[in-house]
Amino acid sequence: MLKYLGSSPEEKKPKASGKPASSAGEDSKSPAANPPTVSPGGETPEEQVQVLQQKIEALERRIGYLERIVKLSQILNSTLHLEPLLQIIIQSATELTDTEACSIMLLDKNTGELRFAAATGDRDNVLKKMLVPLDNSIAGWVIRKNRPLLIRDARKDPRWHSGVDESTDFQTRSLLGVPLKLRDKTIGVMELVNKKGDAGFNEDDIQIATTLSAQAAIAIENARLLDELQQAYRDLSEIERLKNDFVSIASHELRTPLAVILGYATFLRDNLKGKASEQLDVVLSSAMRLRALIDDMVNLRHIQTGDLQLQRSIFSLKALILEAVEEFSELASGKQQTLTTRFIPPNDPLNIDADRQRIYLVLANLLSNAIKFTPEKGRIHVQAELKGHRYWVSVIDTGIGIPKSEYERIFNQFYQVEPPLTRRYQGMGIGLSIAKGMVEEHQGRIWVESVVNKGSKFTFVLPTGPDVADKT
Ligand code: ADP
C-alpha cells in the first residue's frame, strides 16, 4: 500500500448495505419510486440495482485513482530531486495498476538507445547499467509509434527484447508500455510488467500509466533544467574566479615593469631637451594611461570581491575637486573646452570624512568622460553643494548625451553605449561602474540625467561623514 498517498481504491468500496447514491427518490425512473417489473434491457430490478452498484464502484475506484494522482502531483511538486521522484512515480504506477514491476527508460539522443532511469526494487541497480536497442524492442516500438502498447504475453511477441530478463532473472509476461511525452517530443517509455491476476491490462491501466508518465516527463525535464542551471552557475563562478586571478596576476606582473618604464622615462625627459623630450612625453603619457587602466582593473576587482577597504580621513572636498580639475585642465584645453567650478557655500572648505583617493577616482572618471564625450569648444562644469548632511557633486557637460534607456546600464561593467566595433571613443567601459562602487561604499548614490546631443549631468551624493563637524 502506498504509504504517502493515503487510502487505496479498495478502501473506497461502498459498504454492502449502501444504497446507490443516485437521485433516488426524485428520479421517476428510480427503482424505489416506480418499480418496473422488467427493464427495456430485460433485467429484473435486482439486476438493475446490481448493474448500478457496479457502475458506482467503478466510479468510486476512479475517484480513488484521481485522488491519489492529485496527491502524487503535490508530492512531485514539492521536490526537484529526480531519483526519489522517479521512484515515487514507478511505485505509484505498480500499486495503482496492480502490477509486479515498472520501469522508466529514457532515449539517449547520442547513441539512439534506451537507458533505464528507474525501475522497481532490486532491479534498479542492474537495469541502470543496461541499454535497450530501439530496433527489436517493445520500448523502441512505443517510442517510434508514440502510442501505448498492451501485450498479453511478451515472450511470444517478436518485438520483445529478451536481454533484460536474461540478465535480471525476471520473467516478463504481460506488458504495458506508454510513451513519455514532453511537448511535441517523446523522451522515453514507461513500462508496466505482469498485471496480477488473470484479467490482463485494461483501459484504466493505460490511463493511469499515461497520466503518471506525463508526470515523470515533467519531473525529468525540471531536473534537467535545474541541472543545467546549476552547471551554468558553476561555470560562471569558475569564469569569475579565473577572471579575478587573471586580473590579480596581470596587474601585479604589469605594474613592476611599468614602474621601471615610468621611472626611466621621467628621468630622461627631465634630462633631455628638444625633439627627444617631446617623444618621451608621448611615452610617459601612454605609460600613465596604462597604469590608470591597471588601477581601474584592480579597483573593479576589489569592488566585486567586497574587499574595498576605505581609508577614511577628513579632508576638503573643495580642494580635492580643484586638484582634479587642475589635473584635467590640460586635456580639456587640448580640445579647447572650458572647465569651470562652483561651490556652495562659496567660502566653505566642504570638509568630508571619506576615502580621499577613492573620491578622487570618482571625480577623475566623471571628468575624463565629460571631456572625452564632449566635442571641441564644449563646456564642462563641476559644482559641489552642501545640503543638510550631504554633499551633492555634479559634473555637467555639453557633450553627446545619453539616451534615457541607457541611464542604468552605463553603470554596468564593460557597458558602453556605442557598439564595440564602431566605437569612436577609447575606454574599457568600467569607469562608471568603479565610480558607482566607490560612491556606494561611502553610502552614497550616483545617477545621470541627460539630453542626447545637448549634454549630460552626472551627480553623486555623499554623506559628510560621521564626525566632520567635531574634528574640524
Ligand atoms: P568608458 O568611458 O571607458 O567607455 P565608462 O564606464 O566610464 O566607460 O562609461 C560607460 C559608457 O557611458 C561610455 O562608453 C559612454 O557610452 C557613456 N558615457 C559615460 N559618460 C558619458 C558622458 N559624459 N557623455 C556621454 N556618454 C557618456
What does the domain layout of the chain look like in residue ranges?
229-305, 313-471
Report the sign of the C-alpha dihedral through residues 416, 420, 424, 429, in that order: positive
Question: Does the 229-305 domain belong in CATH 1.20.1080?
Answer: no
Distance of alpha carbon 388 from alpha carbon 469, whole angstroms: 12
Q: What pLDDT is attached to residue 9?
A: 38
pLDDT (mean) for 25-36: 42
Amino acid letter, residue 120: T
For the segment 56-73, what is each residue's pLDDT rounded down to a tens digit? 888 888 788 788 777 777
Mutation test residue for ligand 1: of 416, 418, 423, 448, the one with most atoms within 8 Å of CB: 416
Counting Cα atoms < 13 Å in the Cβ hemisphere of 412 gives 7
Residue 397, ligand 1, Cβ within 6 A: yes
Q: What is the Cα 85 distance to its own chain's centre?
A: 22
For the segment 347-374, what is each residue's pLDDT rounded down to a tens digit? 999 999 999 999 999 999 999 999 999 9
Distance of alpha carbon 204 from alpha carbon 206, whole angstroms: 5
> Three-state secondary structure along 236-302?
HHHHHHHHHHHHHHHHHHHHHHHHHHHHHHHHHHHHCCCHHHHHHHHHHHHHHHHHHHHHHHHHHHH
* Ligand 1 nearest atom to the CA of residue 400, by list position: 25
For the segment 429-443, what is each residue's pLDDT rounded down to a tens digit? 889 999 999 999 999
Q: How many residues does the chain have?
A: 472
Sequence-distant (6+) residues with CB within 8 A of 21 are 56
Indicate if the pLDDT at residue 241 is higher than 80. Answer: yes
| DSSP state for residue 146 in the 8-state scheme | T
Indicate if the pLDDT at residue 466 is higher than 80. Answer: no
Q: What pLDDT is attached to residue 25?
A: 33
User: Lowest-pLDDT range, 13-17, 33-37, 156-160, 405-409?
Assistant: 13-17
Q: What pLDDT is attached to residue 188?
A: 93
Q: What pLDDT is attached to residue 225?
A: 87
Buried/exposed code over 412-451 (b: 16+ C-beta within 10 A; e: otherwise): eeeebbeeeeeeeeebebbbbbbbbbbbebbebebebebe
Q: What pLDDT is attached to residue 8?
A: 38
Q: Nearest-CA neighbor of 136 among 116, 164, 110?
A: 164
Question: Does the 313-471 domain belong in CATH 3.40.190.10?
Answer: no
Residue that is written with C-alpha cell 574599457 in the block: 428
Residue 380, ligand 1, Cβ within 6 A: no
